[in-house]
Amino acid sequence: MNRVWNFSAGPAALPPAVLERAQRELLDWNGSGASVMEQSHRGKRFIAMAEQAEADLRALMDIPADYAVLFLQGGATQHFAQIPMNLAGPGDSADYIVSGHWSAKAVSEAGPYLHVNVAASSVADDYLMLPARDNWQLDPNAAYVHYTPNETIHGVEFHEVPEVGAVPLVADLSSNILSEPLDVNRFGLIYAGAQKNIGPSGLVVMIIRRDLLQRAGRPMAKIFRYAEHAAAGSMLNTPNTWGWYLSGLTFQWLLGQGGLEAMAKLNHAKADALYQAIDGSGGYYRNPIDLAARSRMNVRFELHDTALDAAFLQETEAAGLLALKGHKALGGMRASLYNAVPLAAVEALVEFMRDFARRHG
């Protein structure tokens, strides 16, 4: 079996050590004689695993006791709608910061449930930079402020947590959660689709300040209410047991790597190496993003001649460098450098890029 260097934007690379352990335990998990996918989610073994996964995530992120941790089914897009349902009542408004595709989609999905105030947007700049903080038009009476710290498609990232006063800050951290230390106290609610830095698709991890669970929201079925999921320990209905298990293994792997400080150092090294190769190519490759907004997780780049794109992608795949094609809306290339992508993968990509430029210059 030949493993490739996987630069997929999501579902993305998982740590080989996590996959190997899951492989070993697939038929006989925890001495049970059955896989984790065949276990009752209300059985002692699974509950112990779930509690350990939450404890490990709390240790990694230093999550305070006044925050609940939820392991929910679905994807982050579902919560673009579910968050306003839970945090805002009829007639309420919320502020949204639009910095790319996913924050714009969050606006469209929230629209049926509350008044959306687009407090700032960089759409006029083609999302090549972040909305200047001095220009944000925030409402002190907003139910919350929503932003996307890292835009997977457009390749921009907030490198500081914005100050928004007393209004709860809500963050879609799908593509950069666990990539560096984060002060959870700065947020009212954090949510993340698992399929980039946590585990397989089909699971959402949510960290929510407990007082926000008490908001009346609007009339809705119990299955949509976060307070009900918190009260049931994320087992209001049958959870994604496989996703929860693999995420727990990833948390253990991260702790074994030295935690989020070690991951931050590694992630900066990976991004720096790739951006240096792009910037140092004499214009053969280019990254269009404002320097202050460049993403560490999703690095966009373009070749100087788009006629070479097909050859570049064909040759990278042949060289074992997977999923470098940019999003269809933007074209070009994109390398996603999530936690499970090692520095060796970036070094292999950089060497390929230099060789390709020599051969096709």
> Would you say residue 332 lies in a domain?
yes
> Would you say residue 7 lies in a domain?
no
172 contacts 192 by C-beta, under 8 angstroms:
yes
Q: What is the pLDDT of residue 205?
A: 98
Q: Is 105 a catalytic residue?
A: no
How many residues in total does the chain contain?
361
CATH of residue 202: 3.40.640.10
> Would you say residue 4 lies in a domain?
no
Question: Which tens digit of pLDDT belongs to each residue from 79-96?
Answer: 999 999 999 998 999 999
Residues 144 and 279 in one domain: no
Residues 173 and 83 in one domain: yes
Residues 45 and 179 in one domain: yes
Q: Please say which residue of 256, 286, 307 terminates a domain.
A: 256
State pTM to two decimals: 0.97
Q: Which one of the listed residues 5, 29, 172, 244 is annotated catalytic?
A: 172
Nearest-angstrom CA–CA distance, 186 and 171: 10
Question: Which tens digit of pLDDT belongs to each residue from 170-189?
Answer: 999 999 999 999 999 999 99
Q: What is the pLDDT of residue 361?
A: 85
Residues 182 and 277 in one domain: no
Q: Mean pLDDT, the chain, as a whole number?
A: 97
DSSP secondary structure letters along 75-139: -HHHHHHHHHHHH--TT-EEEEEE-SHHHHHHHHHHTTTSEEEEEEE-GGGTTSSPPPGGG----
Residue whose C-alpha is closest to residue 48's, from 21, 66, 30, 67: 30
Q: What is the pLDDT of residue 223?
A: 97
Q: Which one of the listed residues 5, 102, 244, 253 is annotated catalytic?
A: 102
Residues 116 and 220 in one domain: yes
Nearest-angstrom CA–CA distance, 143 and 110: 12
Q: Is 172 a catalytic residue?
A: yes
Q: What is the pLDDT of residue 152?
A: 98
Show the domain range for 337: 259-360
Q: DSSP letter at 325?
A: B
Across the chain, the runs of DSSP E, i.e. the strands, are 5-6, 67-73, 93-98, 115-121, 145-147, 150-151, 156-157, 169-172, 189-193, 203-209, 285-286, 298-303, 321-322, 333-336
Residues 141 and 229 in one domain: yes
Structure confidence at residue 1 as a pLDDT band (50, 70, 90)? low
Residues 297 and 284 in one domain: yes
> Would you say residue 10 lies in a domain?
no
User: For residue 9, what are its two tokens?
Assistant: 């934007």
Question: Which tens digit of pLDDT belongs to each residue from 287-340?
Answer: 999 999 999 999 999 999 999 999 999 999 999 999 999 999 999 999 999 999
The count of C-alpha atoms lying within 13 angstroms of the C-alpha of 93, restricted to the half-sphere facing its C-beta, is 12
> Would you say residue 86 lies in a domain?
yes
Residues 43 and 188 in one domain: yes
CATH of residue 315: 3.90.1150.10
Q: Which one of the listed residues 92, 196, 270, 325 is annotated catalytic?
A: 196
Residues 47 and 105 in one domain: yes
Q: Which amino acid is at 70?
A: L
Question: Which tens digit of pLDDT belongs to each residue from 24-73?
Answer: 999 999 999 999 999 999 999 999 999 999 999 999 999 999 999 999 99
The yes-or-no verdict on residue 20 having pLDDT over 80 is yes
The yes-or-no verdict on residue 263 having pLDDT over 70 is yes
Residues 248 and 275 in one domain: no
Q: What is the pLDDT of residue 115?
A: 97
CA 143 to chain centre: 23
Q: Please say which residue of 225, 256, 287 terminates a domain.
A: 256
Q: Is 270 a catalytic residue?
A: no
Query: Helix, strand, coil shares of the chain as percentages rounded to 5?
Result: 40, 15, 40
Residues 54 and 173 in one domain: yes
Q: What is the pLDDT of residue 216?
A: 87
> Would you say residue 87 lies in a domain?
yes
Alpha-carbon distances of 117 from 139, 148, 174, 262, rounded to whole Å: 8, 15, 22, 38
> Would you say residue 6 lies in a domain?
no
> Would you say residue 287 lies in a domain?
yes
Angle between helices 16-25 and 241-256 (to 10 degrees): 130
Nearest-angstrom CA–CA distance, 129 and 121: 10
Q: Please say which residue of 187, 222, 256 terminates a domain.
A: 256
Provide φ and ψ at 228, rounded to 5°. -70, -40
**Long-range CB contact pairs, 28-34, < 8 A, 24+:** 29/245
Q: How many distinct structural domains can be found in the chain?
A: 2
Q: What is the pLDDT of residue 288?
A: 97
Q: What is the mean pLDDT of residues 225-241?
A: 97
Alpha-carbon distances of 106 from 12, 25, 116, 344, rounded to whole Å: 22, 38, 10, 35
